[in-house]
Structure 1
Amino acid sequence: MSLLDNLKDEMKVAMRAKDKDRLGVIRMAISAIKQAEIDNKTELNDDGIIAVLTKMVKQRKESIKMFKDGGRDELAAKEAAEVSALEDFLPQPLTDAEIDQLINDAIAQSGATSMADMGKVMGLLKPAMQGKADLGAVSGKVRAALNK
């Protein structure tokens, strides 16, 4: 079953359960996926859908931080609930040990020796980690590994 089919099935479940919050998040996700398909003039596969969902989660996490800084805890809680609902459809996050192992493998595979090779390393890591790890944090770890 594709990820889009899973989203549609969960939308039906949320409708039957009268879970308006979860239903709204799922509808928003499906809408974002359809918009990405229209923008790219292609049908997204599961990897493309994961990229869209990951972007949505990242946006909401940034919003949570801004809401908390602004003293708007009720809005931060709403965004946190949306993040939780979206993360149900993303793959299991990688552990720190798995991330470190993938970074070491990518550095060895690319033959990277300096910061000039960071693009090669990230190019290898991005497909393996899309939706499973925060690529910004991974980038910092790669930078630290290449500066040794």
Structure 2
Amino acid sequence: MREHFANALKEALKAKDARRTSTVRLIQAAIKDRDIANRGQGKDPVGDEEIMQILAKMIKQREESARVYDEGGRPELAEQERQEIAIIGEFLPEQLPEEKVKELCAKVVKETGSHGLRDMGKCMNALKERYPGQMDFAKASGVVKDLLK
């Protein structure tokens, strides 16, 4: 994964694509920050699964920023955030369709033997472990909640 980012940065620099260059650098900085935090806690460097979580978090942050900029009457800044979302999204695996997410949520609820809302954390942890970066866990949380009622 890290090699993929390094190559993407080289290509963006060669193409003189400022937006892509800065976004890939932001991704690398976020990964490096997490590496440093892990080192301080005696953990291993960030793996591919954790990188997927970082990228998903970065997208979520930019979606929120774009919404705030739209509400504040700053469409040019909102567009900039959306461009970054598109670039970051290129590094994530394809998102699972909504029907597949519902199917997988039901499967996890059944496999974990969950019967009530108190088991929701167990289900969400299983989903995050098995499908990092492949689904919107906020939406999946709603599906699991409905299944556990």
TM-score under structure 1 length normalisation: 0.94
Moved over 3 A (4+): none
Are 1:13 and 2:18 an aligned pair?
no
The answer to whether the Cα contact below 8 Å between 1:51 and 1:130 also exists between their aligned partners in 2 is: yes
The question of 1:28 aligning with 2:26 is answered yes
For each residue in 1:128-147, what CA deviation from the matched residue of structure 2 results, as whole angstroms up to 9, or x when unmatched?
A: 23211111111111111111
Provide the residue aligned with 2:138 in structure 1.
Answer: 136
Q: Is the 8 A contact 1:129 1:135 kept in 2?
A: no
Query: 1:39 — aligned with what?
Result: 37
Counterpart AA for 1:82 = E
2:120 counterpart residue number: 118
Deviation at 1:59, TM superposition (A): 0.5
Structure 1: state its 5+ residue gaps.
none
Residues 14, 22 of structure 1: 8 Å contact kept: yes
Q: TM-score by structure 2 length?
A: 0.93
Name the structure 1 match of 2:100.
Answer: 98
Identity among equivalent pairs (%) = 34
Per the TM alignment, residue 116 of structure 1 is displaced from its structure 2 partner at its CA by 1.6
Q: Secondary structure at the match of 2:94?
A: coil
Number of aligned residue pairs: give it.
145
Which blocks of at least 5 consecutive residues in structure 2 are unaligned? Answer: none
Q: Which residue of 2 aligns with 1:82?
A: 84
